[in-house]
Amino acid sequence: MASTTDTADPRTRTGAPRRIPLPPLVGALCCALVVSLVCGVGLGSAGLSWSEVLRLLGAGLTGGTIGQDELAAYTIVWELRFPRAVLAAVVGAGLAAVGVAVQAMVRNALADPFVLGISSGAAIGANAVLLFGTLASLGVWALSLSAFVSALASMALVYAAARTPQGLAPLRLVLTGSAMYYGFSAITTLMVFSADRGEAARSAMMWLLGSLSGASWASVPIAAAAVTAGLAYLALSARRLNALAMGDETAAALGVDAARLRTELFVVTAAVTGAVVAVSGAIGFVGLMVPHLARMLVGADHRRLLAVAPLLGAVLLVWVDILSRVLLPPVELPVGVITAVIGVPCFVLLMRRRGYTFGGA
């Protein structure tokens, strides 16, 4: 039986050429991410010069000293904007990578990180804090912890409902996740309507549409750790993902246990989704669009996809967050609204693009 190291590159099956060499593309995206992070810190309602922003960023990164008259500006740069930009990059990278994995796991080009119902499950825990003050004794950790625990509980429920003696079948998993999504969303809606605090209901709606307004340095490490661990696992599983994307029979012929891999992917993607949703709310379209954009650039080989998609997702979400803050000041738009406004026309154009096969190269 062939080893997984002999797994075919899906690009060779479709005959599609590699469009852009990987090393320069990754280098360009890394540079774009650094520039985007700086812009995420420099752009906002508070008028700070670029020289001031760069100096204060440098002071924060190197432990340099600042003047007494710069404390207010330093707080804006280092305590408000920079952790928010970093968290946007982490969340964007996580959603994009999970989108790649979920599309391979269920073999559905329209799948995204939320197709498993994890995000709507997390919303129940988040709304319990925002609307009813549950776990208020935990302070700033209450929202993220409650959302993450609720996401894990929904993951367990979806897994129990979708699992068969033969493992997790792709269609059964998608249908179960979709059904749970509607069920969890109905509970969330009932919670919003039963709340007697108007401002709390508005906060709940902002969370449901995605927002990074509550970002702080405290929320970055946990999300970053979850995304880093998830990316490491997916990178090590890239060859097996190539085999899984070609079908269970082909995967078996190449020495890949499709049922076991699909179970592993379900646990990893659900955990990463729960971690990022807990700190950012339900931000749609990133996990759906970015994998397809990455395929257009580098083809369908998951070794290349997983090098490019997280960087694309990080850059995209940093700029989406910037737009959410600067389009209608002083009002802050939900991040999910911006991703939908950008994602819908991009997706339609992608469908109309001649020569592109969804899920293929």
Residue 238 has pLDDT above 50, yes or no: yes
Question: Is 180 within a domain?
Answer: yes
Range of the domain at 224: 4-32+81-352
- Dihedral angle computed from the Cα positions of residues 88, 29, 266 and 102, in that order, rounded to the nearest 10 degrees: 110
Token code pair at residue 325? 């803050």
185-200 pLDDT per residue, tens = 899 888 888 777 667 7
Token code pair at residue 357? 């096969």
Question: Is 41 within a domain?
Answer: no
Give the number of domains in the chain: 1
Question: Is 13 within a domain?
Answer: yes
pTM, whole model, 2 decimals?
A: 0.87
Question: Is 8 within a domain?
Answer: yes
Question: Is 70 within a domain?
Answer: no
Helix axes 220-236, 258-280, angle to 10 degrees: 160
Please report, rounded to a whole number, the percentage of residues in the chain having pLDDT higher than 70. 91
Q: Which residue has the tokens 């991040």?
A: 335
Question: Is 292 within a domain?
Answer: yes
What is the pLDDT at residue 308? 96
89-125 pLDDT per residue, tens = 999 999 999 999 999 988 888 788 888 888 888 888 8
263-313 pLDDT per residue, tens = 999 889 988 988 898 888 889 889 988 999 999 899 889 999 999 999 999
**CATH code of residue 311:** 1.10.3470.10
What is the pLDDT at residue 197? 65
The runs of H, that is alpha helices, within 281-301 are 286-298
214-234 pLDDT per residue, tens = 888 888 998 999 999 999 999
**Cα–Cα distance measured from residue 217 to residue 225, given in angstroms and rounded to the nearest whole number:** 13
Of 12-16, 32-36, 130-134, which one has max mean pLDDT? 32-36
Question: Is 58 within a domain?
Answer: no
Question: Is 49 within a domain?
Answer: no
User: Cα(first)–Cα(last) distance of the chain, in Å?
Assistant: 27
340-360 pLDDT per residue, tens = 888 888 877 777 765 555 555
What is the pLDDT at residue 357? 57
